[in-house]
């Protein structure tokens, strides 16, 4: 595959891949850095892509590997920068519920390994099918389903310790424990 064809295929996937990187990295700036690094790596390896129909999973595999390499890197790269979007809010709008939900999601996703986080993000937030994820990871669909179940369980267990027993509303079939997100005024700092 030549570089012109690479840019042609990337053009249709660019908005989704960029948004995926931002969700994966939990910040716009860090996500953009991951995306840029992944594109540079993809450009270097474009000749290794044998089947142009497999461009999407090939690109996302590079993105996930780039993200994983950044996460296990030096501690100063893992810090969360204070960004403009965190500082600015709409006048008169109460962002507390959105921030509380984001904190719960971040707390749940933080317990996952980079590969698990990518899997959950692609499936739950990006809408990828099990078949697409299986192709991306070169694994059977049953393996992908099992990994998603284990990742969700880890996420549930991560936030369960923060939930008071009296706010529990939903039964968990696996353990018999109950889980529910509390109202925003009861959410952790």
Q: In this structure, is the dihedral angle defined by the CA atoms of residues 32, 124, 167 and 176, taken in order, positive or negative?
A: negative
Q: Is residue 68 part of a domain?
A: yes
Q: Is residue 87 part of a domain?
A: no
Judge whether 48 and 146 are in contact, CB under 8 Å: no
Tell whether 100 and 74 lie within a shared domain.
no
Question: What is residue 85's predicted lDDT score, i.e. its pLDDT?
Answer: 54
Nearest to 11 by CA among 66, 55, 46: 55
Close Cβ partners of 70 (under 8 Å, ≥ 6 residues apart): 25, 30, 33, 34, 37, 77
Q: Between vectors from CA 118 to CA 112 and to CA 175, what angle results, nearest 5°?
A: 40
Question: What is residue 94's predicted lDDT score, i.e. its pLDDT?
Answer: 64
In angstroms, the CA 100 to CA 102 distance is: 5
Judge whether 40 and 86 are in contact, CB under 8 Å: no
In angstroms, the CA 188 to CA 112 distance is: 20
**CATH number of the structural domain spanning residue 107:** 1.10.10.10
Q: Is residue 2 part of a domain?
A: yes
In angstroms, the CA 63 to CA 14 distance is: 12
Q: What residues make up the domain containing 28? A: 1-78
DSSP one-letter code for 178? E
Tell whether 58 and 16 lie within a shared domain.
yes
Tell whether 140 and 61 lie within a shared domain.
no
Q: Is residue 89 part of a domain?
A: no
Question: What is residue 90's predicted lDDT score, i.e. its pLDDT?
Answer: 47
Q: Is residue 83 part of a domain?
A: no
**CATH number of the structural domain spanning residue 56:** 1.10.1740.10
Last residue of a domain, one of 78, 104, 129: 78
Question: What is residue 74's predicted lDDT score, i.e. its pLDDT?
Answer: 58
Question: What is residue 4's predicted lDDT score, i.e. its pLDDT?
Answer: 78
Tell whether 74 and 2 lie within a shared domain.
yes
Judge whether 179 and 168 are in contact, CB under 8 Å: yes
Q: Is residue 131 part of a domain?
A: yes
Last residue of a domain, one of 78, 112, 130: 78
Question: What is residue 139's predicted lDDT score, i.e. its pLDDT?
Answer: 92
Tell whether 112 and 185 lie within a shared domain.
yes
Last residue of a domain, one of 27, 50, 78: 78
Tell whether 187 and 123 lie within a shared domain.
yes
Which residues partner with 170 through β-bridges? 179
Write down the H helix ranges in 46-72: 55-71
Tell whether 69 and 130 lie within a shared domain.
no
CA 9 vs CA 13, 21, 49, 58, 171: distances in Å: 7, 18, 12, 11, 45
DSSP labels, 113-177: -HHHHHHHIIIIIS---HHHHHHHHT--HHHHHHHHHHHHHHHHHHHHTTS-GGG--EE-TTTS-
Q: What is the residue-level pLDDT of the chain in tens, covering all 189 positions?
A: 677 788 888 898 899 999 999 988 888 988 999 999 999 999 888 888 888 888 899 999 999 989 888 877 655 444 555 455 545 544 456 667 777 777 888 888 888 998 899 899 889 888 889 999 998 888 999 999 999 999 999 998 888 877 766 444 444 444 454 444 444 434 444
Number of domains within the chain: 2
The answer to whether the pTM exceeds 0.75 is no
Tell whether 3 and 73 lie within a shared domain.
yes
């Amino acid at each position: 595959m030549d570089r012109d064809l690479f840019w042609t295929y990337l053009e249709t996937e660019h908005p989704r891949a960029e948004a995926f990187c931002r969700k994966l990295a939990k910040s716009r700036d860090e996500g953009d850095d991951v995306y840029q690094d992944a594109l540079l790596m993809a450009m270097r390896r474009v000749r290794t892509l044998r089947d142009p129909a497999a461009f999407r999973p090939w690109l996302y595999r590079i993105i996930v590997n780039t993200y994983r390499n950044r996460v296990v890197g030096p501690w100063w790269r893992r810090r969360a920068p204070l960004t403009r979007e965190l500082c600015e809010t709409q006048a008169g709008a109460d962002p507390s519920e959105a921030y509380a939900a984001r904190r719960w999601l971040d707390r749940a996703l933080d317990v996952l390994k980079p590969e698990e986080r990518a899997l959950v993000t692609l499936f739950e937030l990006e809408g990828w099918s099990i078949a697409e994820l299986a192709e991306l990871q070169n694994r059977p669909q049953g393996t992908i389903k099992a990994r998603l179940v284990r990742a969700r369980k880890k996420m549930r267990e991560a936030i369960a310790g923060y939930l008071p027993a009296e706010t529990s509303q939903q039964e968990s079939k696996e353990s018999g424990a109950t889980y529910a997100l509390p109202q925003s005024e009861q959410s952790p700092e």
